[in-house]
Chain A
Amino acid sequence: MIQRIYPRALGGAAGLSVLALGVLLYVGIGRLGLTLAPSLLLVLCTVPLYLAASIAFGAARRRGRRIGDYPLSLALPSATYFGAFFVVPTVFLAVFAVASTTGYGVIHYGFSLDAFRTALGSVYREAFFRTLRMAAVGTVLTALVGYPLAYWIARYAPARRKGLLVALILLPFLTSFLARTLAMLLILSDSFVAWHVLKTLHLIGDPPHLADTTTAVQIGLVYNYLPLFILPVFAALERMDWSLVNAAQDLGASGFTAFREITLRLTAPGLLAGVLLVFIPMMGEYVIPFILGGGRVDMAGNLITRSFLEVSNYPVGSAAALLMMGALAVFLAVYIVLSVRSEEQYGA
């Protein structure tokens, strides 16, 4: 028991002390005003983290056993990456969030909750709930648009065409995200040629004034995240044993009941993965509202971007980012609980 925990505790302690050291260093260097320091430090942090981790795993290996019977070293490369570029920056965010600022971009390190107070204020709160609403609506629309397609490919498309169809879904990813979004702007703007054609034919009155509206942003969100939704849902439906649906109908369930009680129930983990895969990035989206909203539609991401890049208010931006992370962590926790439970039920 002790042997089992010891290497992990060692690794954890080593990692934490390295982190603490990094934070202290950064605060010290930050006082000196060296702007290059954060990036340099991030890179340097990976080295001691990696060393600490390999020492820990090495110790475990010398005892002739693998931790928890699994070769944890397989997780080492990604652990290093996440440690360096997620954990460490998050610690920085925390340091910024409790700092305070005077004037234009001058940061005073210390412990103050002012930034959180601002980030919980009405401007940010409104932006957060607007973002929540847009991401929720966007996710529901994405699901409504994407699910039938995933269902059709998985159940009815000829087997030898499936690969091609999935590739077609990924086709938009071959062009740059920015170019795609700008192209959308052309279509949504009133000067788009089709609106004129329709108007000349007296099919519509005026062009629909879509550009720079919440609707445009909403449409853009759905379009951009559609493939990300379709893929996991398709993967889940592809594993579906359709004879179960026949069995349900055979036992007296109507087509719709069989879909709800069997298909939907059994592919729920994939559906949930698809939902989170689009919902979470939608919550953090700032490029789409920036381009399609024309600066008139602010999502939370836009406010955070602005406080970092335009007004250089790192403390408020960090506090808002941390609060956002906390809110999203709740959704993630729900996902983990649900997916673990379904795994236990019938070993996906």
Chain B
Amino acid sequence: MARLIGIRRLEQPGRAPAQRVAEHDVTFREVSKVYDETVALDRVDLEVRRGEFLSLLGPSGCGKTTSLKLVAGFERPTSGDVLIAGEAAVDVPPHRRDVNTVFQSYALFPHLTVVDNVAYGLKQRGVSRRERRLLAQQALELVDLRGREHHRPAQLSGGQQQRVALARALVLRPRVLLLDEPLGALDHKLRQAMQIELRRIHDEVGITFVFVTHDQGEAIAMSDRVAVMNNGRIEQLDDPQRIYDVPATPFVAEFVGDMNVLEGLRTAADRVQLDDGTLLHVGRVLDEAPAGGRVRVGVRPEHTLVVQDEGSGRRGRLEAVMVVGHELQLVVVMEDGTKVVSRQSRTDTAVGEALEPGTRVWLEIAPGAAVVLGPAQPAQADAAPLAAAAPSPARNPQRKEKTA
């Protein structure tokens, strides 16, 4: 009977059943998961608020899928507690959890038609055939898929399959919907359209979404809150704006958004002197590095300005100019060989778009915009005594793409 209440909500959206009392739909308490030798999750605490759109963001292998499996019930934690709606869930088998999953590979039943796929869960609940059809139809309309009811999954495009998987999970109106990189297999354009679509569906049905992605842009654009994961730990759980503006750890700073990484000597608590003598005013320190030691500092591209006349900035040579939509992206090679990416709006740029690569330019860094990421990587110092004097290796600010 309790299960049927969830179904009735489809016809009366917005009317929450009375028994939803817990404040958090999913709670992890010190959850660890160890496979053989791999520590997939390492004492993770997490609270997913009711109705929110929460993203688990991190590079491949950081434990995102494992987290979802623990919520869905396909894995048991090695230690710690998993709670769903405030109640211990570890001993509840998957089919008794009020949680549904959109699988990474969609996992549509190949022998069933689209409408039978969507109605599968309703059938398990003993909903009558007539009502199943009706509800499945409504769910397919919700995900904007019509006229394909009697096709088999193999006859659908990737985007359509993705919608079926979504409808199949949504039709049950679970307390929590888990989505494991559902947009990963789609092409860029479709992906962007589906991001908006998913957010619309979330707002429409009012179900808690736990959305897994390795694409930081996606997580930032869609979520109410983002949990940035690394090596089986959550490094920061915050709203997207703060994740970007106030990263809690060096990993978050580098993983989310573009970041130029420079090296220099920490001369005072809020001062770093780069190798060419430039003094940077540091806004935040993410990892305590002793004053007087070499540190890595991060500067976002939009916090730099490229100018053509000598000012207080560092001297360099323009390497490339790219027009990216309404923005201008400039790559400057500093005199010590470091590459810095700068981004500025095309309307208020200080330099012309027609600027030739090779031109001498100056780079200004906004005061307080730099953050200390931590001590300079000891590996470099160990590898070659020259490393300190030699130019630090060029960093590619677009590194996040690599993690795909």
A18 on the B face (CB < 8 A): no
Q: Which residue of B lies closest to A245 (CB)?
A: B107
Question: Quick check: A253 and B124 within 8 Å, CB to CB?
Answer: yes
User: Which residues 72-90 of B have a CB within 8 angstroms of A?
Assistant: 72-74
B243 on the A face (CB < 8 A): no
A104 on the B face (CB < 8 A): no
A278 on the B face (CB < 8 A): no
**Distance of A346 Cα from B93 Cα, bound (Å):** 30
Question: Quick check: B94 and A246 within 8 Å, CB to CB?
Answer: yes
Chain A positions within 8 Å of B103 at CB level: 243, 246-247
Question: Quick check: A252 and B111 within 8 Å, CB to CB?
Answer: no
Question: Quick check: A241 and B124 within 8 Å, CB to CB?
Answer: no
Question: Quick check: B107 and A247 within 8 Å, CB to CB?
Answer: yes
Given A246-B103, A251-B100, A257-B124, check contact A346 B111 (CB 8 Å): yes
**Distance of A265 Cα from B95 Cα, bound (Å):** 19
Given A246-B74, A347-B154, check contact A253 B95 (CB 8 Å): yes
Chain A positions within 8 Å of B40 at CB level: none
Chain B positions within 8 Å of A258 at CB level: 95
Chain B positions within 8 Å of A266 at CB level: 110-111
Partner of B95, one of A244, A252, A347: A252
**Distance of A262 Cα from B117 Cα, bound (Å):** 12
B116-136 interface bits toward A, Cβ cutoff 8 Å, 1 = contact, 0 = none: 000011001100000000000
B9 on the A face (CB < 8 A): no
Given A249-B94, A251-B120, A346-B152, check contact A241 B107 (CB 8 Å): yes
B1-32 interface bits toward A, Cβ cutoff 8 Å, 1 = contact, 0 = none: 00100000000000000000000000000000
Question: Quick check: A252 and B74 within 8 Å, CB to CB?
Answer: no
Chain B positions within 8 Å of A69 at CB level: none
Question: Quick check: A248 and B120 within 8 Å, CB to CB?
Answer: yes
**Distance of A206 Cα from B96 Cα, bound (Å):** 52
B101 on the A face (CB < 8 A): yes
Chain B positions within 8 Å of A252 at CB level: 3, 95, 121, 124-125, 172
User: Which residues 95-115 of B have a CB within 8 angstroms of A?
Assistant: 95, 99-101, 103, 105, 107-111
Interface size, A (range):
20 to 34
Q: Which residue of B lies closest to A268 (CB)?
A: B111
B214 on the A face (CB < 8 A): no
A-B residue pairs in contact (CB < 8 Å), sample of 12: A243-B107, A246-B74, A246-B103, A247-B101, A250-B72, A251-B120, A251-B121, A251-B124, A252-B125, A254-B95, A258-B95, A345-B110
Partner of B107, one of A244, A254, A265, A347: A244
**Distance of A10 Cα from B151 Cα, bound (Å):** 42
User: Which residues 53-85 of B have a CB within 8 angstroms of A?
Assistant: 72-74
Question: Quick check: A249 and B107 within 8 Å, CB to CB?
Answer: no
Chain B positions within 8 Å of A262 at CB level: 109
Q: Which residue of A lies closest to B121 (CB)?
A: A251
Q: Which residue of A lies closest to B125 (CB)?
A: A252
**Distance of A342 Cα from B111 Cα, bound (Å):** 8
Interface centre among A243, A265, A266 (most CB of B within 10 A): A243
Question: Quick check: B111 and A265 within 8 Å, CB to CB?
Answer: yes
Question: Quick check: B152 and A246 within 8 Å, CB to CB?
Answer: no
What is the interface of chain B, defined by CB distance below 8 A to chain A? 3, 72-74, 93-95, 99-101, 103, 105, 107-111, 120-121, 124-125, 152, 154, 168-169, 172
Partner of A244, one of B74, B94, B100, B109: B109
Question: Quick check: A250 and B109 within 8 Å, CB to CB?
Answer: no
**Distance of A311 Cα from B252 Cα, bound (Å):** 89
A337-348 interface bits toward B, Cβ cutoff 8 Å, 1 = contact, 0 = none: 000001001110
Q: Which residue of A lies closest to B104 (CB)?
A: A243
Q: Report the minimum CB–CB distance from B189 to chain A (whole Å).
A: 27
Q: Report the minimum CB–CB distance from A82 to chain B (whole Å).
A: 33
Question: Quick check: B110 and A250 within 8 Å, CB to CB?
Answer: no
Q: Report the minimum CB–CB distance from B232 to chain A (whole Å).
A: 22
User: Which residues 193-251 of A have a CB within 8 angstroms of B?
Assistant: 241, 243-244, 246-251
Ranked nearest first, the 8 interchain pairs of A and B with the lowest CB-CB distance are A251-B121, A252-B124, A247-B107, A346-B110, A243-B107, A249-B94, A250-B101, A249-B95
Partner of B105, one of A241, A257, A346, A347: A241
**Distance of A265 Cα from B120 Cα, bound (Å):** 15
**Distance of A346 Cα from B153 Cα, bound (Å):** 9
**Distance of A247 Cα from B165 Cα, bound (Å):** 10
Q: Report the minimum CB–CB distance from B216 to chain A (whole Å).
A: 26
**Distance of A258 Cα from B121 Cα, bound (Å):** 11
Question: Quick check: B105 and A250 within 8 Å, CB to CB?
Answer: no
**Distance of A251 Cα from B154 Cα, bound (Å):** 20
Chain A positions within 8 Å of B124 at CB level: 251-253, 257
Q: Which residue of B lies closest to A345 (CB)?
A: B111
**Distance of A254 Cα from B124 Cα, bound (Å):** 9
**Distance of A346 Cα from B169 Cα, bound (Å):** 22
Chain B positions within 8 Å of A265 at CB level: 111
Interface centre among B100, B103, B109 (most CB of A within 10 A): B109
Given A244-B109, A250-B94, A250-B101, check contact A345 B72 (CB 8 Å): no
**Distance of A128 Cα from B109 Cα, bound (Å):** 42
Q: Which residue of B lies closest to A346 (CB)?
A: B110
**Distance of A247 Cα from B152 Cα, bound (Å):** 17
**Distance of A308 Cα from B115 Cα, bound (Å):** 59
User: Which residues 295-319 of A have a CB within 8 angstroms of B?
Assistant: none
Q: Report the minimum CB–CB distance from B76 to chain A (whole Å).
A: 14
User: Which residues 63-113 of A have a CB within 8 angstroms of B?
Assistant: none
**Distance of A249 Cα from B99 Cα, bound (Å):** 11
Q: Report the minimum CB–CB distance from A342 to chain B (whole Å).
A: 8
Q: Which residue of B lies closest to A250 (CB)?
A: B101
Chain B positions within 8 Å of A243 at CB level: 103, 105, 107
**Distance of A166 Cα from B169 Cα, bound (Å):** 38
**Distance of A346 Cα from B73 Cα, bound (Å):** 29
**Distance of A246 Cα from B108 Cα, bound (Å):** 11
Question: Quick check: B100 and A345 within 8 Å, CB to CB?
Answer: no
Chain A positions within 8 Å of B121 at CB level: 251-252
**Distance of A129 Cα from B113 Cα, bound (Å):** 42
**Distance of A247 Cα from B95 Cα, bound (Å):** 10
**Distance of A246 Cα from B104 Cα, bound (Å):** 12
Chain B positions within 8 Å of A345 at CB level: 110-111, 152
Q: Which residue of B lies closest to A257 (CB)?
A: B124
Beyond A250-B94, A266-B110, 19 extra complex contacts between A and B, CB < 8 Å: A241-B105, A244-B107, A246-B94, A246-B103, A246-B107, A249-B95, A250-B95, A251-B95, A251-B168, A251-B169, A252-B121, A254-B93, A254-B95, A255-B93, A255-B95, A257-B124, A258-B95, A346-B111, A346-B154
